[in-house]
Each structure stands twice: as C-alpha cells, then as structure tokens.
Amino acid sequence: MLIFEHTTQGRKNIAQAPVVNGEVNDIPAELRRTKSAPLPELSELQVVRHYTRLSQKNFSIDTHFYPLGSCTMKYNPRACNSLAMLPGFLSRHPLAPEKFSQGFMACMYELQEMLCEVTGMSGFSLTPMAGAQGEFAGVAMIRAYHDAKKDFDRKEILVPNAAHGTNPATATMCGYTVKEIPTLDNGDVDLDALKQAVGPQTAGLMLTNPSTLGVFERRIEEIAKTVHQAGGLLYYDGANLNAILGKIRPGDMGFDVIHSNLHKTFSTPHGGGGPGSGAIGVSERLKPFLPLPMVTKENEGYRWLTEKDCPQTIGRLSAFMGNAGVLLRAYIYMRMLGKDGMQRVAEFATLNANYMMAQLKNKGFDVAIPERRASHEFIVTLKKQAKELNVTAMDFAKRLLDLGYHAPTTYFPLLIPECLLIEPTETEARESLDGFIEAMLQIQSEAENDAEFVKGAPYTMPVKRLDEVRAAKQLDLSWVNQS
Amino acid sequence: MSEVRTDVRYTASHEWVRLEDDGTVTVGISDHAQGLLGDIVFVELPEVDAEFSAEDACCVVESVKAASDIYMPINGEIVDTNNALVDEPDIINSSPYDDGWIFRIKPVDEEDIEQLMDASTYEAEIADE
Amino acid sequence: MPFIPHTEDEICDMLSVIGADSIEQLFDEIPQHLRIKSLQGVPQGLNEMEVSRLMQSRAAEDGQPVCFMGAGSYDHHIPAAVWQITTRGEYYTAYTPYQAEASQGTLQLIYEFQSMMTALTAMDVSNASLYDGASALSEAVLMAVRGNRKSKSRRILVPTNVNPVYRSATKSIVHHQNIELVDVEFDTATGQTTLDALKAYEGEDFAAVVISQPTFFGTLEQVDALTDWAHANGAMLIAVVNPTSLSLLKPPGEWGEQGADIACGDGQPLGAPMSSGGPYYGFMCCKKAHVRQMPGRIVGRTVDQDEKEGFVLTLQAREQHIRRSKATSNICTNQGLVVTASTIYMSLLGPQGLEKVAIACHQNTNQLIEKLSAIKGVDVLFKGSVFHEVVLKLNKPVADVLNALAEKNILGGYDLSNDYPQLDNALLVCATEMRTDEEIDRYAQVLSEIL
C-alpha cells in the first residue's frame, strides 16, 4: 500500500510543526497557493511503521552479501556515519565564515592530501557529487587544457568498448565526439587499433584499470605513451581503484586526471543510489583547471580557494562544495584504515575475487578470461547454460535472490554474453563466498533438472518479475496524477 | 526466422523503404530490427516538413532495453508520419511492413533508392549477425 | 586489520585453492617497476575510540552560531524520526535498485517521493532527483534545449536575481554544448524581473526563460505574466523554486495560462541538514509531454506476473548505460538517501505541517525585518513582500559587520558584494521557523551596537 492510501484527512502531527499565530496577508493573492498540496496525512507512528516496513523489502549490505561487480559494495562502518553526523558538522552553514569552519576545513584539506597520496596526483578537488560529475569535471579540464594552448582541433575522446556508459555520455556533454577502441579477447586494449586511432584530433583517452573485464591492463605504459605522443591526455576512471589501492597509483601509470568514487573505494554508503562523490585529482599540468571550491592551508589556518586564486578553473559544479557529508565519511574511513589498512584493502579484495573465481571454475562454471588473474572482480559467462538449458544470466540472478544473495551485475560489460560480473570486496568473510558458490551450484542443478522453475524465479521476494513493458508504455509515475 | 519482404529495399541500419505510386517514399523498420529491439514502448516521430540528408538520425524508436535512432534512408523531406504509433507503438512489432510504417518522405531524387539493398542482399546481411 | 575478517588459516586455504603462494603473487600481472611500497603521506590508522576523539574535537571547533543565513541552505527543524529511519541499513547500504524484486522498499519510496513532488509543484511528473539545485538547473537548461521543438535556439534567458552560484555552475556545465545564458537585469527598485526587461528580447529565439520564485533576494516575481510572456515567445519556462515556499506560494504548474514546463530546485529544506553544503538533492518536475527528455532515474508503478502491484526503474532507454554517447545526461545516480529523508519529512509534516513551516518562516522574517530596519543605518533595499529572505542595505561595509556579529556568535547573513558589486553594502538575511523571538531581538540589539 502506498503512504497516500493510509491517509486520513485532517490527521496532523502537532509535535512536528511550529506554532503559528495569525494569517499571512502581505503576499498578493495572485501569488498564493489556493488549494493545499495533496500530501499524505498520517500520525507519526503510521509514518514510522510504513517506512520501516518498506525498508524491510530491500536487500542491502547490512542484510545480505551483495557482490555487485563494478560497485564495490563493502561494509560501511557505522562509526563513519555517526561521526559525520555530529551536531557541529550537521548544523554548519556552507557559507559560514572560515572562523566557524576550521574543524571541517581541516578534514577536507587532509582528505585532499590523502587522495593525492593514494592516487599519485598533485592536486584534488572534492566538489564533484558523483562519479559521473567527476568524469565531467575531468573531461572539461582536458578541454580547458587544450583550449588554453589554443589547440582547438582536438575534438575526439577515445573510449575502450568495454567502458562504462558514463564515459561516452560524459564526452558528449563536454562537446566531444567519441571513438570506441576494441578490446582483445584477453581483456587488454587493442593497442594496434589505439595506435591507428590517435592523432592530432585526439583530446584524450578514458580508461578504467583494472578494466571492467576484471583484469589489469598490462601495457598501460605503452598506452600512456601512445596517447601522450599524439598530444592527448589520459583519463583514469576510478571505479576500480579498490583493486589496486596502495599497490600501484594511477599517477605512476601515466594518467593525467582521475576521479575517485569515494562511495566505492572509501566506503561511503550507496544509499539506494546516492549520494556518492566523485572527487577529482590531476597531475601538475592540469592543476590550474580544477573545479572550485578547494581548501588550502596558510599559517596554520585553512582558507577556501576562489576564482581569484584560480583564474583558469573550470568553475563550480555545485551550489556549495559537493556532498560534504559524504566527504566526511570517506575522511573518517581513511583515517581508520591508515596507510597499512589501505594496502590490505586491495590485497583482500583481490584474494576474495580470485578465490571465488577459482572455486567457480573448479565446479564447472565458465570464466570469461580464464587465463588471467582476477583483479577485485571477475566475470562468469553463462553462455553455455543459455544455449543448452535456455537459462540465462538474468534467470540465475533472480534465483540468487531467493537464496539470499544479491545478484552480481548482469549484462555488463556488454562485450561478454550472458555475464555475471562478481565483486565480493575485502570485507566479506569466507563463509559468504562459499555460501554464494553453493547457491550457484544449486541453481545450476535446478536449471539442469527443471529449467522452467529457475525461469520463474524469484519466488520469495515481495513481488515476482515485474512487467517492465507495461511500466514504460502505460507510464504511471505519480499517485497524485493518477487519482 | 524474420520476414524479409521482397517488394521493398533496405538500409544497413535496418530501415525498409518503399516507393509509392504518388512518388513519395514510405519508411519503416524491418521485421528483423523489431525483433532485436523487443517490445516497442515509444516512438518519437519526426516533424512534418523537416528536411534531412541520407543517414541523418531523424527519429527514435524505444523499447525497454534500447532506444534506437531511425536514420533517413535517402535525402528528402518528411511529408507524413504514422500518428497511430503515438498511442500504439507496438504496431511496429505486430506489423512492421504494413500498419507499422513510420514516416513518408518526398525524395530529392527517386533514383537514390536504387542504391539501397534488395531483399536478397539484406537477407544475406542479417544472416551473418 | 580494520573491517577484514580473514584469519591466517583461511588465507592459507584460500591461496591453496587459487594455487598461489602468497597474496603478493596475485598482483604479478602489474609491472613490478610501477609498484609502490607504502603510502608515506597517509597517517597510521586510528581505532574507533581515537577517531571519535578526533572528530568530536573537529566538530566542536566549528561552534554552532545562531544562523540568520540562507542563500540556498536553510536551517529547518528536522523531526527525529527522519534520519533515524533513513539511516536504517536497508536504506543506507542498498545500491541503485537494479534488481527490482529485491529493492521494492527503495523503489516504492521513490515513487512516493515523485508523487509528493508533483503534489507540491502541481506538475505532471517528477524524476527520482539530481545532485543539487545548481546541477538541477543545469540539467533543466540542457533539457529545454533538447526538448523545445518550437525553438532551434541554444540561448536561455536567465534573470540575474536567480541564485548566482546556480548561474555560474550552470554555465560551467552547459557551455561546452554551445549553450548561452543571457542575463536579464532585475529592477533595482523591487529586485524583480519585469516584463519590460523581457520585452527587450521580443522577437528573438530563446529555448527557455528561467524564473526563480522567490528570487535569490527573497522577493517575489510576477510569475503569471512572466510565464505567459515566455510561452507567447516560443520559449519554455523553467521555474526554480524553494520547496518550503510551495505550501504558501502558487505552485509552478499553475503559473500563467499553461504553467511552467520544468520546475526544479534544491530539496535541502525538506529534511536535509545544512551539513556544510551537502548532501542535498536537486528535484526536477516537468509536463508529461517532456518526460522522455528528462534526465535521471524515474520509477514507475506496474504489476508483476501475478498482477500484483510493484515498482521498477522505467524509461531507462534514455540513460547512459544503454544510450551511451546519446544519453539525455551522464547522470547515473540520484541522491537516494537524502530523498529517503525528504519523503519521510514530507509524510510526517503533511500538508498542514508544511504550510505552518512556510508561514512561520515568513512571519519570523517579517519580524526580523521590522526589528532590524528600525535600526539607524539599516534599510530594506527592495520594496514589496518577501518569502523568508530579505536584502538589507547597511551604512557600513558588510564584511566588517559580519565579522563583528560572528564575535557574538551570530551568523548574520550573506554578503552580496561579491556577486552584486552594484548593490552597495547589501546583506541577505533569513529567519526560518527555528529562530526564536529572543534570538531575533538579540540580533537587533547586537547589530545596533555595531552600527
């Protein structure tokens, strides 16, 4: 039932609203609302119960193993939440003078510095509010860099065909055309094709490393050299930074700009789809273009950098300084891990992924690139099952829900047919990994014996498979405009 | 197997094209294309009177899993669109060559149609996919 | 090892299954000479007790001044239940609801949110939210350029009384696509956008006109006439609105003859703490005819195989993961968690509660105006009524006055001199429902001493 359907007209929550005396009579009638908004009217208990019950219809990291490839669904420490929500942080107005902001600014400054260290970059701006906005900032800086050199003929961004969909979408937003570079069967970028593709029209290359195929790009130095020699810059999509944290740094690989998904690598919550953070780091030559605001340290105090300090900045991307509360959570997480803890992240994320890949391979599942090491994630392909049993990756995914596991990423990357992209993360204990493998084996055996049963899954969720065609054709997007 | 009509010509991007008696050209998408897209949920029709060059994207057909541009097969001007698709876009699924036509154009040069694929060439093309 | 559960025995077992001698060996595909040994610039880890001590002292350092500042972030009361429920793990630690069957909680909540936003704005449809108010305006501008079939223009009329940082962020985001924001100056007597100012552009082609209600100055626009002018000139109307004000002011769906085409703004006032500027969320509503041009996630109601009601992400074919370089936007996420808080906030307050918040803000601000403008050296800059912010003209440089107020633990408002150098010594102040009579009196008292 929708909250609107629990409504009783005239029911009020006295305790929640301010006391108001008198009428408003100084606003002209033609500017006033005439009918009150058709919002729900319930008691506090009814609201609490409704949203508590709704929450119970969700899978989450706190309740289920959630091996969603490319998303890094690791444990979100509770301390990060409660400390970021201390009253002093929550009640700080974003435009409060620096005098009332030194504590917060100290955290942001140190976060910028730590991010520089772990990525091998020279400067960081924390303002982008999601990975996609970080990407936008990064590509906009690449453009600003070429423009500043009066090099206006670079109109093309190169993107491997295995890339996240945001990469080409971002390039378009920045006014570039996109050229896709093929990927070899072993997961590496097709270097010959790249060499053919670069030229005076190349603004840059966007790359994820390890790639979305779950393998490390071994010829990264040659790729960097190829792009740089053509005058282009190298963009690092930080989606998979968890795999290499403390082991190798994008800056040392030759990248000029990186966005870091703090909600992945640095464990800020995904919140049902946000807020995230796409902090953006650059090498020395791109520093003048970083988006504002940033924090600098002067005479033992902290100060905001503005347009006066950074005349070549690509500007502001948000009203204030991005998702500050998310940044605080990432800061606290990094302080808790410390230098040693951070290196262990990549180690155990990789151990867990390779263990799962080995087990699944041993038990008869096909791995997309079996001859390679997994990074922090790997791909199982169910092409054989789809062909022989007519049971697809989607069917496996839905049946996994019944068995208490959130499905891995399905049908991404697009290059691998019937794929499951599996990322266990470092915070899962071996029992979870073994349980998931058992579940995969159970589904395999169900598929062999009764394919229709698997195709009908899930059976234990609040709903069965939903009619997406009807949802798109008979658009029902608001209760208010239905009734 | 999807149907390949022999009385129309085809583009590599799966539009079909039929020259009508009045000199206009009707355009739709092939049975093969509608099958790839799956259930079509929306069609964004081009503006009547708009002029396009061959291979320009001129409208969009959307299914649950994809949104696909429809490309102008030859140079010309849009003279009519199939407004029935606004409410029932899935006509394209049920009748891709007849009731599911998408738009009509006045070609700049009728002869351009001869450059497009005939049915047997198109059939060979899609067999490779 | 913080948050890593493996025992030594487990590590050995797992490595033997993999067929590796050590964890180090798992990194053997990475060129050895590029590897780093340690992260020198990162301090040693802190345990929970130590990090709590650190963060508590940092938070305390910032103090909690009495807030008379608005300018896009507002100090409202948030019922205790809002964030207690929002931070339940099932909301806090879920991902984007790709597996609909295992995400009905988040999906239904977003559908309810969309419904509430259409109720508040009187628009047809809402998306699941964008990043913040500034990014919502930039997406609205991109959407208008894509969606206005009557116009081929890439120019947008934007009055300078629209939040200046929204304007500058929008410019940073849209200028790569050759979209131009054309300034319309406000009337210096009223702070409003006048019809005369718009008429200077009559006959030119614009994709859209942006109107902010209330304006950045707190003043109120003649929204009906401005909206009708935009439509008569083939432009779409983008409304930038404060959601708190919508319980009191005419919703954008009812502006003029046809209503606004797109309504957007920042959702922070509906349940998000000021929190140094985020996370907030941007909301965006539009007319149904434009829904396929709308960026961001959208949830639809449908049925499952047994005809039971359920919710899914819909219209995904517009999005980057399918449409790649031709997507409506590169945005992937919404600000899900803040939207969760906001939905609970609106449910708890209900229509009457929200109206009371709006009225209390308005009345407190009127009271603040009365008390402050009685001080010698303080004048109200613009004539006409305001919602919950007002521009005051002081007889001294504003920065000095704000510093002196800060010494007395008062956050006195926003100095307009950087954004509007033409306005001499102008200060933007705000009093939400949180400000008490005593606080307002004290502000007046301290200010009169300073001046």
Number of domains within chain B: 1
* Nearest Cβ partner for C169 among A316, A352, A471: A316
Cis bond before residue A413 (omega within 30° of 0): yes
Residues 6 or more apart in contact with residue A292 via CB below 8 angstroms: A125, A127, A305, A306, A307, A310, A313, A315, A316
Domain with A307 in it: what CATH number? 3.40.640.10
Q: Across residues C381-390, what is the average pLDDT?
A: 97
The predicted structure's pLDDT at residue B2 = 86
* Nearest Cβ partner for B44 among C292, C322, C326: C292
Whole-number average pLDDT of chain A: 95
Asked if A367 and C75 touch (Cβ cutoff 8 Å), the reply is no
Do A242 and A125 sit in the same domain of this protein? Answer: yes
Is A475 an 8 Å CB contact of chain B?
no
The predicted structure's pLDDT at residue B66 = 80
DSSP letter, residue B98:
T
Asked if C352 and C373 touch (Cβ cutoff 8 Å), the reply is no
Burial A169-187 (b: 16+ CB within 10 A, else e): bbbbbbbbebbbbebeeeb
pLDDT over 70 for what percent of chain A?
100
Place of tokens 């208008």: C144
Q: Identify how many contiguous H helices and E strands chain C contains and give both numbers.
A: 13, 15
Q: Do A31 and C249 touch (CB under 8 A)?
A: yes
* Nearest Cβ partner for C351 among A37, A218, A275: A37
Asked if A260 and A278 touch (Cβ cutoff 8 Å), the reply is yes
Q: How far apart are CA C346 and CA C91, in angstroms?
A: 17
Contact pairs from chain A to chain C, CB under 8 Å: 672
Domain housing A277: 79-337
Q: How far apart are CA C37 and CA C264, in angstroms?
A: 49
Is B109 an 8 Å CB contact of chain A?
no
Residues 6 or more apart in contact with residue C222 via CB below 8 angstroms: A31, C192, C195
Residue C322 has pLDDT above 90, yes or no: no
Asked if A147 and A140 touch (Cβ cutoff 8 Å), the reply is no
Both tokens of residue C253? 């769906």
The predicted structure's pLDDT at residue A483 = 47
Number of domains within chain A: 2
Residue of B nearest to A473 (CA): B41
- Residue ranges of alpha helices (H) inside A78-234 are 78-84, 87-90, 102-119, 131-148, 166-173, 191-197, 220-229
Q: How far apart are CA A351 and CA C24, in angstroms?
A: 10
Where is the domain boundary, A286, A309, A337? A337
How close does chain C come to B64, measured CA to CA in Å? 6
All residues of chain A having their beta carbon less than 8 Å from the beta carbon of residue C126 are: 477-478
Q: How far apart are CA A222 and CA A226, in angstroms?
A: 6
Burial B61-84 (b: 16+ CB within 10 A, else e): bbbbeebbebbbbbbbebeebbee
Is B90 an 8 Å CB contact of chain A?
yes
User: Is residue A36 in some structural domain?
Assistant: no
Angle between the A324-362 and A102-119 helix axes, to the nearest 10 degrees?
A: 30
Other chains touching A, judged by 3 or more CB pairs under 8 Å:
B, C
How close does chain B come to A474, measured CA to CA in Å? 9
All residues of chain B having their beta carbon less than 8 Å from the beta carbon of residue A411 are: none
How many Å is the Cα radius of gyration of chain B? 13
All residues of chain A having their beta carbon less than 8 Å from the beta carbon of residue B64 are: 468-469, 472
Write the single-letter amino acid at A121. M
Contact pairs from chain B to chain C, CB under 8 Å: 18
Helix (H, G, I), strand (E, B) or coil at A475: coil
pLDDT over 90 for what percent of chain A?
91
Helix (H, G, I), strand (E, B) or coil at A99: helix
User: Is residue B128 in some structural domain?
Assistant: no
Q: Could you tell me which of C136, C177, C137 has the C-alpha nearest to residue C335?
A: C136
Asked if A267 and C2 touch (Cβ cutoff 8 Å), the reply is no
The full DSSP string for C6-75 is: --HHHHHHHHHHHT-S-TGGGGTTS-GGGB-S--TTSPPP--HHHHHHHHHHHHHHT---EE---TT---
Could you give the angle at the alpha carbon of B66 between the alpha carbons of A194 and C293, nearest 5°? 100
Do A223 and A122 sit in the same domain of this protein? Answer: yes
* Residue count of chain C: 451
Q: How far apart are CA C46 and CA C113, in angstroms?
A: 39
pLDDT in tens, A140-193: 999 999 999 999 999 999 999 988 888 888 999 899 999 999 999 999 999 999
Task: Give the DSSP H/E element, type plus range, for residue A461.
Answer: none
How close does chain C come to A287, measured CA to CA in Å? 17
Do A314 and A367 sit in the same domain of this protein? Answer: no
Do A295 and A226 sit in the same domain of this protein? Answer: yes
Do A277 and A362 sit in the same domain of this protein? Answer: no
User: Is residue B123 in some structural domain?
Assistant: no
- Longest Cα pair distance anywhere in chain B, in angstroms? 37
Do A266 and A357 sit in the same domain of this protein? Answer: no
Least reliable range by pLDDT among B49-58, C94-103, C221-230 = B49-58
Whole-number average pLDDT of chain B: 91
Both tokens of residue A189? 């970028």
Q: Do B67 and C318 touch (CB under 8 A)?
A: yes
Confidence of residue C415 (pLDDT cuts 50, 70, 90): very high
User: Is residue A44 in some structural domain?
Assistant: no
| Other CB atoms within 10 Å distance of the CB of residue C265 | 32
Where is the domain boundary, A337, A367, A386? A337
Do A267 and A374 sit in the same domain of this protein? Answer: no
Domain with B77 in it: what CATH number? 2.40.50.100
Residue B88 has pLDDT above 80, yes or no: yes
User: Is residue B122 in some structural domain?
Assistant: no
Is A31 an 8 Å CB contact of chain B?
no
User: Is residue B31 in some structural domain?
Assistant: yes
All residues of chain B having their beta carbon less than 8 Å from the beta carbon of residue C322 are: 65-67
Q: Do B90 and A473 touch (CB under 8 A)?
A: yes
pLDDT in tens, A225-274: 999 999 999 999 999 999 999 999 999 999 999 999 999 999 999 999 99
pLDDT in tens, C57-113: 999 999 899 999 999 999 999 999 999 999 999 999 999 999 999 999 999 999 999
Q: Do B90 and A468 touch (CB under 8 A)?
A: no
Residue C16 has pLDDT above 60, yes or no: yes
Q: How far apart are CA A355 and CA A432, in angstroms?
A: 12
- 180-209 in chain A: CB under 8 A from chain C: none
User: Is residue A37 in some structural domain?
Assistant: no
Domain with A419 in it: what CATH number? 3.90.1150.10
Residue A16 has pLDDT above 90, yes or no: no
All residues of chain A having their beta carbon less than 8 Å from the beta carbon of residue B39 are: 469, 473
Do A330 and A351 sit in the same domain of this protein? Answer: no
User: Is residue A4 in some structural domain?
Assistant: no
Q: How far apart are CA B43 and CA B61, in angstroms?
A: 5
Q: How far apart are CA C433 and CA C436, in angstroms?
A: 8
Q: Could you tell me which of A206, A264, A342, A256 has the C-alpha nearest to residue C36?
A: A342
pLDDT over 70 for what percent of chain C?
99
CA separation, residue A205 to residues A194, A264, A280 (Å): 10, 23, 16
Asked if A351 and C56 touch (Cβ cutoff 8 Å), the reply is no
Between strands B51-52 and B76-81, the pairing is: antiparallel
ipTM value of the model? Answer: 0.97
User: Is residue B52 in some structural domain?
Assistant: yes
The predicted structure's pLDDT at residue C447 = 97
pLDDT in tens, B8-24: 999 999 999 999 999 99
Residue A10 has pLDDT above 90, yes or no: no
Place of tokens 């049920």: B94
The predicted structure's pLDDT at residue B128 = 67
- Main-chain phi, psi angles of A431, to 5 degrees: -55, -40
User: Is residue B61 in some structural domain?
Assistant: yes
Domain housing B38: 10-110
Q: Do A401 and C99 touch (CB under 8 A)?
A: yes
DSSP letter, residue A175:
T
pLDDT in tens, A341-385: 999 999 999 999 999 999 999 999 999 999 999 999 999 999 999
The predicted structure's pLDDT at residue C334 = 86
Is A473 an 8 Å CB contact of chain B?
yes
All residues of chain C having their beta carbon less than 8 Å from the beta carbon of residue A474 are: 302
pLDDT in tens, A433-481: 999 999 999 999 999 999 999 999 999 999 999 999 999 989 999 999 8
Contact pairs from chain A to chain B, CB under 8 Å: 13
| Other CB atoms within 10 Å distance of the CB of residue C397 | 13
Do A332 and A357 sit in the same domain of this protein? Answer: no
How close does chain C come to B99, measured CA to CA in Å? 24
User: Is residue A169 in some structural domain?
Assistant: yes
Whole-number average pLDDT of chain C: 95
All structural domains of chain C, each given as residue ranges with its CATH number in brackets, are: 66-76+351-450 (3.90.1150.10), 80-343 (3.40.640.10)
Q: Could you tell me which of C91, C61, C24 has the C-alpha nearest to residue C342?
A: C91
- The β-bridge partners of C310 are C302
All residues of chain C having their beta carbon less than 8 Å from the beta carbon of residue A92 are: 62, 274-276
Confidence of residue A411 (pLDDT cuts 50, 70, 90): confident
User: Is residue B118 in some structural domain?
Assistant: no
Do A258 and A193 sit in the same domain of this protein? Answer: yes
Q: Do A48 and C332 touch (CB under 8 A)?
A: no
* Nearest Cβ partner for C332 among A2, A130, A272: A130
Q: Do C326 and B67 touch (CB under 8 A)?
A: yes
Between strands C155-159 and C208-213, the pairing is: parallel
Where is the domain boundary, A294, A311, A337? A337
Q: Across residues C14-32, what is the average pLDDT?
A: 97
Other chains touching C, judged by 3 or more CB pairs under 8 Å:
A, B
Q: Do A473 and B41 touch (CB under 8 A)?
A: yes
User: Is residue B18 in some structural domain?
Assistant: yes
User: Is residue A386 in some structural domain?
Assistant: yes
Task: Give the DSSP H/E element, type plus range, for residue B69.
Answer: strand B67-71
pLDDT in tens, C392-404: 999 999 999 999 9
Do A406 and A326 sit in the same domain of this protein? Answer: no
Do A359 and A391 sit in the same domain of this protein? Answer: yes
Confidence of residue A331 (pLDDT cuts 50, 70, 90): very high
Interface test with B, best of C322, C325, C328, C329 (most B CBs within 10 A): C322
Could you tell me how far CA C100 lies from the centroid of its own chain? 27
